[in-house]
Structure 1
């Protein structure tokens, strides 16, 4: 972010900083979802989803490491959230296409309805949980839990997507 004196590196926790970081996450989704759809149509959707999850895992993990070590600057978080948003722009269209392939034409509407309800419920619960985590243990631990939720969840033998270890820094 820029102020009157040039680039600003401090994390103030201000609403403006939060807005910039959230915009950094959403901007790639807006700009690259069509590209993600084309990639999802040309390559195996499962592979695209796994690569996208690895991208998001790396970005969330790096954000957590920076926040936990106290070395994070706003520009670093912006770049990492641009990377995470790009992963989402790849993942989402591939997931939509996979549902259409798996459910088939006659069950597609029911499948999409179930997914929509599940996402809405999960979003509400996740926002509440994130608020509690940030309040109780800090932003670094919250980012670590976000990275843990992306951890190779869809790859057989690579874990369930749930983190089972506790870092002494967070807990």
Structure 2
């Protein structure tokens, strides 16, 4: 039987503590960015939802384009160095955006280039993060490691969305983006201190990039549960990007009360993620992918409430539900991948996971502004809710999703 003390013992491990600190600080920086960027752009002279869509699309497209390359790099090079490079590139991009906002020089092309740098940094960093966790955490404590990393990240999101909303209101988006860049830079320094010995990382024979990608694709496509849920999330994330990136902030500006209201919504979601990881610490479903897919259904709730013009407290409650469900799913998903996929291929498989999950995100961002004009902001949000439900129900049709079982727990 698992014990809390056994799980929490990871915090005494120096390598895990460094990884946890770096990840927590990085997420604190990223929590500043959405509110700062959204309301910073919307506050520019002549800017509208389409302007914000362009900037966010410029951030998302390079992230998707470089994701597979990031997976190959992370399976070839020391993952802590790859993560460090990604964090520092994100810092550079947000510093550039902050400088533009603070100086008043904000041409759309320049903002797009800076946003693209943050997208490339994300593409480099995330596959390495997925692969480095089994290098640092013992196999029997993988779920506990994912939970503790998630708990630190989600606590940062709560603090970040609250502080970022206040910073934007008091000082403007530029200062919040500056804080974002500083946090990413600090995370990069902490990652640089995480030195894994060569014995902890088996080195496979080197192949060409294309051969590495083919091997990664073989590992990815041979597991039905994996590619079906990724296909589900390609549609779900498209709705999420439209709802969270453009339509939600736009509705907040139109009728909910502006940045403070949207920060409250994001804070409700962030608090939900904390509750979600605490639930996940004890949760051991025998069919983790089936359970994780089922709890994606309630994530449509906040978009439904926003589309129905529900009061702010109700939409914040809906965001809380979304946070709980997504974080439980995330812990079960990451742990299952780390158990089922060979370590030498994990970053590449993670990059296919991220590429597939995010590939329609830019479409959601690009269509959100025009959809708001054609159907109204509320109607477009109801469409997001429908996409979440339909994609999840479709994934449940796959036997691999329903039948994959977790290994028997080790008795203590």
Q: TM-score, normalised by structure 1?
A: 0.76
User: Counterpart of 2:109?
Assistant: 75
Distance 1:53 1:108 in 2: 24
User: Counterpart of 2:79?
Assistant: 45
C-alpha distance after superposition, 1:43-88 (max 9, x if no partner): 1111111111121111111111111111111221111111111101
Work out whether residues 85 and 188 of structure 2, in 8 Å CA contact, stay in contact via their aligned partners in 1.
no
1:24-103 to 2 correspondence within 5 Å?
Answer: 24-103=58-137
Residue 123 of structure 1: how far off its partner (Å):
2.4
Distance 1:12 1:120 in 2: 35
User: Counterpart of 1:112?
Assistant: 146
Work out whether residues 98 and 175 of structure 2, in 8 Å CA contact, stay in contact via their aligned partners in 1.
yes
Residue 129 of structure 1: how far off its partner (Å):
2.0
Distance 2:108 2:174 in 1: 14
1:155 counterpart = 2:189: yes
Work out whether residues 11 and 74 of structure 1, in 8 Å CA contact, stay in contact via their aligned partners in 2.
no
SS, match of residue 189 in structure 2: coil
SS, match of residue 106 in structure 2: coil
Moved more, 55-64 or 17-26: 17-26
Work out whether residues 63 and 116 of structure 2, in 8 Å CA contact, stay in contact via their aligned partners in 1.
no
Shift in alpha-carbon separation, 1:125–1:26, aligned structure 2, 3 A = farther
User: Counterpart of 1:122?
Assistant: 156
Q: Which has the larger radius of gyration?
A: 2
Divergent runs of 4+, >6 A: none
Shift in alpha-carbon separation, 1:154–1:78, aligned structure 2, 3 A = closer
More helix by percentage:
2
Residue 135 of structure 1: how far off its partner (Å):
1.2
C-alpha distance after superposition, 1:111-153 (max 9, x if no partner): 1122233333322332232222111101111111111111243
SS, match of residue 66 in structure 2: helix
Shift in alpha-carbon separation, 1:103–1:153, aligned structure 2, 3 A = same
